[in-house]
Amino acid sequence: MSPDCADGVCKDSPPDPKEMFPDLEVLPRPEPNPAMQDDHEAWLKEYDQWYTLRCPCGRGYFCREHGSWISKDDVSSGIAAAADEQKKGSCPGYHYGGYNDITSYIGERDALVR
């Protein structure tokens, strides 16, 4: 810990991104491709039903990135982040497995058919 942070309060302030990247233009989230609009709306309705689901202990949940279940054991052992700490890329490694030899993709929350 640096001496500036010894009292638990850092005196360093992060650089202003606008100063670092003056030409950076932040755009709003893009809307889905119009051809996929119906699929996107169906996904949003499903997401509203499952994104808050937790196991009774409060630690198991559906990940936001894949929609796959993360067990309380994965969270307790450190394999996965807790639901409120989840960031892109923080899912267990098996959520990022390859799809070699898969003939049909049903959905992350369902099954992969080989």
- Segment 27-40, tens digit of pLDDT: 666 677 888 888 88
Please compute the mean of the pLDDT values over residues 88-114 and round it to a whole number: 58
Q: Using a pLDDT cut of 90, give the percent of the chain over it.
A: 0
39 assigned to some structural domain: no
Cα–Cα distance for residue pair 110/91, rounded to 1 Å? 17
Top-ranked range on mean pLDDT: pick from 28-32, 36-40, 49-53, 73-77: 73-77
DSSP 14: P
Whether residue 13 lies inside any domain: the answer is no
Q: Which residue, chain included where needed, has tokens 């409060």?
A: 58
Q: Which domain holds residue 79?
A: 48-114
Q: What is the pLDDT of residue 45?
A: 84
Residue 108 lies in a domain: yes
Res 1: pLDDT: 43
What was the pLDDT predicted at 51? 75
Given a cut of 80, is residue 96 above it in pLDDT?
no
Does residue 112 have a pLDDT over 50?
no
Give this prediction's pTM: 0.47
- Please report whether residue 42 resides in a domain: no
What would the two tokens of residue 4 be? Answer: 């500036």
User: Residue 113 in contact with residue 100, Cβ under 8 Å?
Assistant: no
Question: In total, how many domains does the chain have?
Answer: 1
Query: Would 92 be classed as within a structural domain?
Result: yes
Q: How confident is the model at residue 16 (pLDDT cuts 50, 70, 90)?
A: confident
Contact yes or no for 54/60 (Cβ under 8 A) = yes
